[in-house]
Amino acid sequence: MNADTPIFEIKDLQFGYPQRPVLKGLSLTLPAGRLYGLLGPNGCGKTTLLDLLAGLRRPQKGRIVFQGRSLTSYHRQALAREIALVPQNFYVNFPFAVQDVVMMGRYPHLKRFAHPGTEDLRLVAEAMAATDTDRFARQPVTALSGGERQRVIFARALAQDAGVLMLDEATASLDIRHTLDLLGLTRQRVQERQQTVIAVFQDINLAAMYCDELLFMKDGEIAQQGPTAEVMRADTLQSIYGVDGHIRPHTTYGLPQVDFSR
Tell me: the pLDDT tens digits for 105-164?
999 999 888 899 999 999 999 999 999 999 999 999 999 999 999 999 999 999 999 999
259 is a domain residue? no
238 is a domain residue? yes
Predicted confidence at residue 257, as pLDDT, reads 93
Predicted confidence at residue 2, as pLDDT, reads 57
Query: Average pLDDT for residues 225-240, to the nearest whole number?
Result: 95
Residue 1 pLDDT level (bands cut at 50, 70, 90): low
Predicted confidence at residue 90, as pLDDT, reads 78
Predicted confidence at residue 93, as pLDDT, reads 82
The tally of domains found in the chain comes to 1
Tell me: the pLDDT tens digits for 172-201?
889 999 999 999 999 999 999 999 999 999
186 is a domain residue? yes
132 is a domain residue? yes
For residues 170 and 182, the answer to whether their CB atoms sit within 8 Å is yes
Burial of 21 (0-12, 13-18, 19+ CB in 10 A): middle
- Three-class DSSP category at 125: helix
260 is a domain residue? no
258 is a domain residue? no
Predicted confidence at residue 262, as pLDDT, reads 62
257 is a domain residue? no
Predicted confidence at residue 213, as pLDDT, reads 98
For residues 258 and 238, the answer to whether their CB atoms sit within 8 Å is no
Predicted confidence at residue 3, as pLDDT, reads 56
Segments forming the whole domain that contains residue 224: 6-252
262 is a domain residue? no
- Residue with more model confidence, 199 or 94: 199
Predicted confidence at residue 5, as pLDDT, reads 78
- Residue with more model confidence, 77 or 250: 77
The string of DSSP codes covering 1-45 is: --TTSEEEEEEEEEEEETTEEEEEEEEEEEESS-EEEEE-STTSS
Count the alpha carbons within 13 Å of 95 in the hemisphere toward its beta carbon: 5
Predicted confidence at residue 244, as pLDDT, reads 92
CATH number of the domain that residue 98 is part of: 3.40.50.300
Contacts 24+ apart (CB under 8 A), 104-109: 104/156, 105/155, 105/156, 105/157, 105/158, 105/159, 105/160, 105/161, 106/159, 106/160, 107/80, 108/77, 108/78, 108/80, 108/81, 108/160, 109/81, 109/161
Mean model confidence pLDDT for the chain: 94
Amino acid letter for position 235: D
Percent of the chain clearing pLDDT 90 (strictly above): 88
